[in-house]
Structures are given as C-alpha cells and as structure tokens.
Amino acid sequence: SFICHLSSKKSLNLAENASKTQPVSWEFTPHHLLMDNTAYDTYGTFIKTNPPLREKRDSITIDDLNYTSIIGTDHAPHTLEDKSKGVWNSSPGIPNLETVVPLILTEVNKGNVDLKIIPKIFSENAAKIYGLENKGKIAIGMDADFTVIDLKREGKFNIDEFKTKAEYSPFDGWNYIGMPVMTIVNGKTVMNKI
C-alpha cells in the first residue's frame, strides 16, 4: 500500500505501525511539512489542498522526515481563476515542482534535515518501492539521472519566473538557500543554471 500526501501525525503513526507487519509506504509534500491550517489566514483559497492542511497540533512537520521518507509534489495545474472561486468551489492543490528541492535544501541549511537523506527522500526510496531497477542510485548500469545542487545559492521564489500555468504559490516570496542548478536525464543535460 502507498499513502499519497500523508498529512497528519495520527496517519503517520497508523502507517508506521502497519508497516511493521505489511508493506506500507507513504510520501510527504512540502506544504504539509512546512505549513499548518493557519496559512489560510495569509493565503486564502490558494492554500486549499487535499488532504487539507491540519491544525498545528495534528500536523506532520519537517522533523518527521527520516531515511525512509519519500518527498512528493502536488499535481496542481490550476489557473488563478480556478483558485479564486471561494472556499467551496476553488480547485484544490498546491504546485511544488519548482519549490520542493529548494524548500527542503533550505531546511538542510537551517540544520533541520540531514543532507545525507536528500538522495533517499527524493529518489532512492521511491525507486525501490516502485521497483525501478535502473533508477535511484549512482552506479554502473543505472540510468544516468542526476540533479546537481548548489547548497549555497540563495534567492527568493518569484512566481513570475516559474514555468507553469499555475500562476500562484504560497511559497512566492519565500527565501531559500540551496537550489538545483543542473539536471541530467539519461545522460543528457536538460537544465543548466550553473
């Protein structure tokens, strides 16, 4: 069993207990790790997501990441209009594709996450769970898929620079320290900001 977007301490405890006797895995999103439901006061319906952000006392946090964790993102290609239809009619979802790595690297730089778990939570653990034998590790015979990071690159998220039709992000304006600067897929460079 795989639990997508695990968001509460209670769910995490249930999943951890179940995993002792059966194959159960889960993934966390950056917004569930870094925000709680008080974010609605600042971001309104732009923070609407499924499952919803939890109350602080019930929410998972960055401290719940470990060597077995998996980080995922939310598929949320909604327009500003889709997200501005009020609490009941706005589309749920928070795009994270361009923010997920810098957000977690920022937590590394703050001392909240061990750098050694980064390859595991972003690649190795998911490849193992899904049986992707040529993915998830740097080794002879594996697909040449790499992300090169600059742990010291600093900046501020700017939605105007994102490559998405979802022209919103609760992380717009957040500072980050650490950024992917090159992506190589099957041995070919597909992104280079070095």
Q: Which active-site residues does the annotation give?
A: 74
Integer Cα distance of 32 and 120 in angstroms? 19
Nearest to 80 by CA among 124, 114, 43, 135: 43
Q: How many residues does the chain have?
A: 194
Nearest to 76 by CA among 90, 58, 88: 90
Integer Cα distance of 32 and 19 in angstroms? 21
For residue 119, count CB atoms less than 10 angstroms from its CB and return exposed for 0-12, middle for 13-18, buried for 19 or more: middle
